[in-house]
Amino acid sequence: MAPWRGLIDSDYRPRLPVHPGTPAVSLHEGNTPLLYSRHLSGRTGCEVWLKVEGANPTGSFKDRGMTVAVSRAVEAGAELVLCASTGNTSASAAAYAARGGIASAVLVPASGVARGKLAQAARYGARIVEIGGTFDDCLRIARALATSPGVALVNSVGNELRLAGQRTVAYEIVDALGAAPDIHCLPVGNGGNITATWQGYVAYDRGRPRIWGFQAAGAAPLVHGAPVPAPRTDATAIRVGSPATWAPAIAARDESGGLIAAVPDAEIFAAYRELGSHDGVFAEPSSAAAVAGLLARHRAGRLSPGSRVVVTLTGNGLKDPDAALRADYSTTSADPTAPDVARSLGLAA
Ligand SMILES: *Cc1c(COP(=O)(O)O)cnc(C)c1O
């Protein structure tokens, strides 16, 4: 079998907006695990699969679009990759810019970016600008600066390059399962991923799932039908009050016969713990919103038994260690002797 060399040099290349001369700026993103969840399947009476996007090179699905956007930016002679971010876009943009040999600058909210993501942007060498405002402020400013010469804005809003790359998740799922699932669950923040996932299934044309998107209850503009000025949730990757990809996200919901619903943080964090302790998958809190949403639909009797369901786990739990250590867990201490450790573990002497 040929080794995996990333999306641009894969069989999906004809579906990506690259030219014969486009340099592939890649960290071998894509080809992520699709894991069967015995736990969630048992809990729901369905066949539940987890698309583990945290296995991408910078730990989130953002790498799928970034390989395309940065490759094209390098081809076009850009000198600076610029983005606004709740964290993962900045980590990905900075990594791909470094790989492509150009500079990056990231605009992030001064509070609410998970520490692992900031650590990534720092180590990939980005210029980090912390803005005393929300993600929505960062995006507004990034868009205003995008017209400067040599600057490539790599946010997904209106960015066909990013969306085209992100569509590949649907191609991989269809190739792995042999057909589209009945239902595809994912968290929704700015709306790019729900849009790209739906468009991917449509373009691949081997069945269409209902798309079930979930927002955090304190940051659910697409559910309420109006922007939320002060979005609140500890799932920081989906703390977005004014989704830039609004109309296409609603179209993905409606054309697929799906829904976009809200889930409270308490349920998001319960699902977050459950995923780790029952499936061995450490995803970030925002990813768990999709699991929480699936379980809520099941509880409400709105999930047909036997459905085949795919859940996108959008990002890696390691990115947000503070969230992980805030949720309840147990430690015990012991003296450095085997008998004392045996005592603290309750093992027979
Ligand atoms: C970006 C991101 C989201 C939200 O995706 P949108 O395209 O903004 O809707 C969800 N989870 C994680 C981990 C993300 O990085």
Model confidence over 240-285: pLDDT tens digits?
Answer: 999 999 999 999 999 999 999 999 999 999 999 999 999 999 999 9
Q: pLDDT-derived band of residue 32, with 50, 70 and 90 as boundaries?
A: very high
Looking at residue 215, its pLDDT comes to 98
Q: What is the DSSP letter of 55?
A: G
- 348 or 181, which is more confident? 181
What pLDDT was estimated at residue 327? 66
119-129 mean pLDDT: 97
End-to-end CA distance of the chain: 51
- Say which DSSP state 229 is in: S
Residue with tokens 């016969």: 257
Q: Is any atom of ligand 1 closer than 6 Å to the C-beta of 60? A: yes
Q: How confident is the model at residue 135 (pLDDT cuts 50, 70, 90)?
A: confident
27's CB contacts (< 8 A; 6+ apart) are 6, 57, 58, 63, 67, 95, 96, 99
Q: What are phi and psi of 33, to 5 degrees?
A: -65, 140
The two tokens of residue 177 are 């399962």
Cβ proximity of 139 and 155 under 8 Å: yes
Higher-confidence position of 204 and 332: 204
Give distance in angstroms: CA of 250 to centre of ligand 1.
Answer: 16
Q: What is the pLDDT of residue 231?
A: 94
* Closest ligand 1 atom number to CA of residue 61: 15
Ligand 1 contact, 187 CB (< 6 A): yes
184, β-bridge pairs: 211, 310
pLDDT at 100 over 80: yes
- Which pTM was predicted? 0.96
- Look over the chain and give the mean of its residue pLDDT values, rounded to a whole number: 96
Q: Probe ligand 1: pick from 50, 85, 88, max atoms within 8 Å of CB?
A: 88
Q: Which of 186, 188, 211 to mutate to test the pocket of ligand 1 (most atoms within 8 A of CB)?
A: 188
Query: 349 pLDDT band (50/70/90 cuts)?
Result: low
Judge whether residue 86 has pLDDT over 90. Answer: no
| Token pair listed for 284 | 């970030």
Dmax over CA atoms of the chain, in Å, equals 72
Does ligand 1 have an atom closer than 6 angstroms to the CB of 267?
A: no
Residue 20 neighbours by CB under 8 Å, 6+ apart: none
**From the CB of 92, is ligand 1 less than 6 Å away?**
no
